[in-house]
Structure 1
């Protein structure tokens, strides 16, 4: 189902879905010869122009499958990269996607540049794929270094902005979660912003930060970030690291979960896996179970053994239960101020007694 949604997001109409189980992938074809033959018959009968594998394929597997099936073959990573290429809006987002694509292409150049000239704008061939495949590895590396330099400059700008927020005693909150969990809808509800919202995967790629104010507690900066997904390509995580640093440097994470999704526990685990990969596993979290309006579930909140709000059940669309989340933010802001006051007092005591 998730692969079908990914394909739909990329603008691909699904003609058939073929499932297979195997203890280990075949080195030459990934799937067994019988399954590949079944695929070939379906491709011929339905005149399928593209076959998408829900796994990563090696260059050799992709080349062999293309020959066996007599049609274009792409893997899950190529599909996700293509979606990101369509969705990127800001200069930074476009740089990050291109960097990820070039890193992928660097390992798949052999066997991939067959008839790419005729595949312009095809799924899996967007972005640098349509213009960079003919480049030799030296030119490709040069482009990669240039993109890294530009992203490093943008990263430094973000660092300056974060330092200014820290000096101003501003609570930094990052909204994270599985793609299409409703993060941007919640962001708009909290900050009264107008970030693009759609019922589709990866509607948001660029990190957006806005200020909100809580009664009696002052300013909070909330950031909306790119959604995560199962088997998110490592090249994308690496390329988007500068954007994800907003999450890595946050004081609090609002982990948004689609309360209606049957796989929500697996999705929570996948998000936490990526958070661990970028070094954000130890940042305090509030699990925000969204879309309760679809189940007619009343809004509520749950506290952990230490009395901190750990879970909030709400509807970002209707606003039901938002007061519980605002309470969680207020309490987090109060805790941060108390922590800063203790730290300041400790520093003054150290200076007074000459402690280094």
Structure 2
């Protein structure tokens, strides 16, 4: 079937669909002006739009959403392009939103979803959804999540802006790529795994300037070391004592939880970390969050003969160097950094914090 024939058939289907969707107006001349305007929909015809894609666009799927916030239904068509051999890698995925202008007669307007720098939306399983993630806009944003094994590795954010000439535009407001993306209200966290550090990752947190992530006056992103898939349940049994230091700072604001990481009596010796004894330059009550910026691998040793005395409890001493930044009400990005040296001891197989000193001391 030729492309012209396909377009003709599609046009006939569109006209029939729209004719069926219109509400018959039986109002009298007196109340005719108060009748609600007809809202058209592409929902039923959305799958047919694949037939009009260019030959070098390989159709992936289509879905229907109210992407413009007008109670209508738009059609999102995803496609692959620049196809490569299966052994060479994954194919880029991009998309188009098809929207009716609701005029009489209506016509379809295509809006290609473009990102700054020409990057693509996805490479794996591309999931579109509508969600309110930016407080500076009314309604919800159009979001595309690239999912690989249930982990989101790419996120693209768009919002319908009717003020762009001539027919409006789906404006790109943010785009993130990493090993894992966590999208929250006005915040996006990008995690990059540290292959040489088991279970650890570098997390970069981006803060939106209410309306988007591209504005020149948005806050600088913050960086910190985090657990890749959450803190291990028995982290103190780890063969990597530096993880205990990271876990302690994760629980720093909760005195009851933080105290569990210390050897007997050591939490009290450090004054319960209440007055800047554990690395922060302000009392713990003023701290909102502790970011671990660098974390050395533990330098371990044995305090006894492992062949005759320590048995399975060697090494039983460890030293960990860490750099932290303590966020407060007055400081959340460019906070003072402190280099700290922690000493740990192994008690019944559990690594426990013993004492610390600032590297400058």
Q: TM-score normalised to the size of structure 2?
A: 0.22
Larger Rg: 2
Please state which structure has a larger fraction of its residues in helix.
1
Q: Which has the higher strand share?
A: 2
Larger RCO: 1 or 2 (CA < 8 Å, sep 6+): 1
